[in-house]
Structure 1
Amino acid sequence: MLKVRAGDLDKMGLLFERYHRELFGYLYHMSGRPDVSEDIVQTVFYRMLKYRHTFTGEGAFRSWMYHLARNVLVDTAQKNKRLAYHHDLVEYAEKIGDGTAADEPLQKEQDLATLQDALASLSPEYREVLVLSRFQELKYEEIARILDTTEGAVKVRVHRAMNELKKIYLKIEQ
């Protein structure tokens, strides 16, 4: 990004190739809508180019990128008044157990549906920290820079989000 900032705009294509899938994953988990997520990815890379002078190189590029993405997501949600959350967790089926029971596929599908409903019921703030920490696998330090808060505050938020997700999941499962 420092080279892009210095005027080597050809490096922007390399950044896009390296990070667009990761960024799409974050935005998809936050909005649950692939079409909106793809549009936001394009907008984020446009803003990276437009605001390249704001990248100082002091922090990690990923933190700066996620911070921009978060701002674009908020702008999009405000523009659309309410960005309805809808998520298809089928791609994460392998993360739920590896049992060998005959009814395993059906149980996995039911567990995914319950998890999908629970995740959709979380507040956007809790969903965001879970997406960043669990799905995007960012370190708490990076998440703190993205959210412009302390690492301790992120840990607390993740803990509370996990507890809330568990409570909602168990309530739905009953």
Structure 2
Amino acid sequence: MLKVKAGDLDKMGLLFERYHKPLFGFLYHTTGQVAQSEDLVQTVFYRMLKYRHTFSGEGEFRTWMFHLARNVVNDAAKKNNRVVYEADITPRSERTISTPAADVQLETKQESEVLHQALAKLSPDHREVLILSRFQELSYQEIAEILKTSEGNIKVKVHRAMKELKGIFLKETH
């Protein structure tokens, strides 16, 4: 990113190749919408170019990128008056021939769908810290920098979010 900041805009393609999948994952888990997430990825990379002068190089690039992504989601929410998590999960049809491997795959898929439904029921703040910590595997320190709060506060938020998610998940599966 420092090379992009210095004017070597060709390096933006390398950044896109390296980071568009994790960025899409964050945005998809935040919005639950494939098409909207793809659009938001493009917006984030546009803003990276537009605001490249704000990247100081002192912190990690990923932290700066996810901070921009978070702002893009918040701006989209303001523009649409809200961000509603709506998962693009299409239920798989029942299979006519059942094998042990197929049963395990179906059960795993169903649990994944229930997990996404439970994630959708979390508050936006709880969903955001879980996506950053569990799906994007960012450290608590990195998340604290993105959210502009303390690491201790993030630990508490993640703990509470996991507890809430577990309660919703268990209620959905029983």
**TM-score, normalized by the shorter chain, greater than 0.5:** yes
Post-superposition offset of 1:28: 0.5
2:43 aligned with 1:36:
no
Q: What letter matches 2:123 in structure 1?
A: S
User: Residues of 1 paired with 2:101 and 2:38: CA distance?
Assistant: 38
CA contact (8 A) 1:129 1:158 kept: yes
2:124 aligned with 1:124:
yes
Post-superposition offset of 1:103: 4.1
User: Residues of 1 paired with 2:103 and 2:13: CA distance?
Assistant: 46
Aligned positions of 1:3-82 closer than 5 A: 3-82=3-82
User: Residues of 2 paired with 1:58 and 1:27: CA distance?
Assistant: 25
Alignment coverage as a number of residue pairs: 165
Aligned positions of 1:74-153 closer than 5 A: 74-88=74-88, 103-153=103-153
Identity, % of aligned positions: 66
Cα root mean square deviation, aligned: 1.8
User: Residues of 2 paired with 1:135 and 1:89: CA distance?
Assistant: 17
- CA-to-aligned-CA distance 1:120-163 (integer Å, 9 cap, x gap): 10011101111111111111111111111111111111000000
User: Residues of 2 paired with 1:74 and 1:121: CA distance?
Assistant: 18
- Runs of at least 5 residues in structure 2 that lack an aligned partner in the other structure: 91-99
User: Residues of 1 paired with 2:4 and 2:89: CA distance?
Assistant: 36
CA contact (8 A) 1:40 1:73 kept: yes
Sort the Cα spacing of 1:57 and 1:104 in 2 relative to 1 into closer, same or farther, 3 A.
Answer: same
Sort the Cα spacing of 1:61 and 1:171 in 2 relative to 1 into closer, same or farther, 3 A.
Answer: same
